[in-house]
Amino acid sequence: MKVSKLILPMVFGLLFSGLAIAQTAEYTLDGKIFGMPEAEVFTEDYDGPPVVGEYVTMLPNLKPLDYEGNKHHEVRIDIIVQEIEVAEGVRYQAWTFGGTVPGPVLHVREGDRVTFYMKNRSDEEVTITEPSKGGSPFMKQVAENPYQKNKSAIMPMPHSMDFHAGTVAKDDKWRTIGPGETIKFDWIANYPGSYIYHCGTPSVLMHTSMGQHGVVVVTPKEGYNTGYEVDHEYVIVQSEYYLTKGSGDLYTYDFEAAFSNNPSHVVFNGHQTILHDQPLKANAGERVRFHVSNNGPSGTSSFHVIGGIFDRVWLEGHPFNEMRGMQTVLLGASNSATIDMIIPEEGKYVLVDHEFVDAEKGATGTLKAGPKKN
């Protein structure tokens, strides 16, 4: 039988390829916990909401941590394909975490454990614009405000998840899974700050350009040492699209543009005008905290707010990395900053990537300040 020809060399191959690498047992170093159980890959009948978890929201929202100490989160972010709008008249079939680009925001506290489930549902139609039961705040928010005008679609591909907030062996936890498969793994938010997550399946340039990225915000155990409370917290993600008109009405991935660092759109929160159509809100005299992440995939961001100076900036969101009085924060691909700013007076403030080529490709937004309250 033909097959036997194949089996013999492959069995030898197996014998020579090393039979056991033990899973590192859990241990603690510098107060941080390492050594997570081995990831599990399996198939399941799950067809519920693609995003599950109490502290998972849609941009620019961040769910406040209304619990004391540490918590063990169960979070699901499934991979689904959605036709989305990224600018007026520009729609494409995005590869997404949870249905939007960027994906949902996960909020945890430093030291929290996350048990993460992700089903690759790229080969099934999943609707996220209708109310669902048992989902996350994200599901409710996107159903009420589907600003990317999401429509379900199918484009089966293998995918994976790489949480920059996690410290694990990538060949185990960040494994690629095929359509119909589910992966489950644990990680611990050992370091405070804002961290991107993205698909790590090659071509990473293609997978991330197609929309597979998002942010985890890890609030420091002791908070930021400021002596004040902020009045508003917003999450801002900058990212690039590389799109070209396809044969029909839809746009498609433009490999040449992506390979030559020439995005068609550079945007905040996944849509060219969303932060103008739906401005962020605050009042004069208030303090606003921005969690800003540049998810790339390839560009930098020189984040600035017209009319403001950043009172305090924590690079990567780590409380030890404090800077004061910055006009602009430079973020490389997958860098982040937590920024506190005082809103000086009633009026309009424009968030901008001060690399003006990016601003004029869409990387701007509005913060609308109301009158000063007493």
Partner 1 sequence: MRLLKNIVTLTMLLMMWASNLLPAQGVLQTKQVLVPAGSFHAVLPEVAGEPIQVDSFYMNETVVTNEQFAEFLKTNPSWRRSEIPPVFTNKGYLREWKSDLEPNYEDVGTNRPVTRVSWFAANAYCDAQGGRLPTLNEWEYSAQLLGITDKAAMDKFSSSLISWYSGIDAQNLAEVGTTGIVTTKGVKDQFGLVMEWVEDFKPIIADELSLDCGTVGRMNTLNSLYNYAASIRYITRMSFNPKITTGMVGFRCAYDKSVDTFQNEHGETL
Contact partners, residue 205, CB within 8 Å, separation at least 6 = 258, 259, 297, 298
According to the binding rule CB under 8 A, does residue 180 interact with partner 1? Answer: yes
Q: Please report, as residue ranges, which positions from 246 to 285 form the binding site for partner 1 (by CB under 8 A).
A: 246, 252-256
Least spacing, CB of residue 157 vs partner 1, in Å: 7
Least spacing, CB of residue 44 vs partner 1, in Å: 10
According to the binding rule CB under 8 A, does residue 25 interact with partner 1? Answer: no
| β-bridge partners, 86 | none
Q: Please say whether the beta carbons of 312 and 363 come within 8 A.
A: no
Contact partners, residue 12, CB within 8 Å, separation at least 6 = none
Judged by beta carbon, residue 48 or residue 156, the one nearer partner 1 is 156
Contact partners, residue 257, CB within 8 Å, separation at least 6 = 242, 243, 244, 263, 264
From 15-23, 221-229, 284-292, 315-323, span contacting partner 1 (CB under 8 A): 15-23
According to the binding rule CB under 8 A, does residue 211 interact with partner 1? Answer: no
Least spacing, CB of residue 246 vs partner 1, in Å: 7
Contact partners, residue 189, CB within 8 Å, separation at least 6 = 108, 109, 110, 111, 112, 113, 114, 165, 166, 216, 218
Least spacing, CB of residue 205 vs partner 1, in Å: 8
DSSP string, 342-371: E--SSEEEEEEESSHHHHTTT-EEEEEEEP
Least spacing, CB of residue 335 vs partner 1, in Å: 17
According to the binding rule CB under 8 A, does residue 38 interact with partner 1? Answer: yes
According to the binding rule CB under 8 A, does residue 2 interact with partner 1? Answer: yes
- Judged by the rule CB under 8 A, the positions of this chain that interact with partner 1 are 1-4, 6-7, 10-11, 13-14, 17-21, 23, 38, 43, 45, 93, 123, 154-158, 170-172, 174, 176-181, 200-206, 210, 244, 246, 252-256
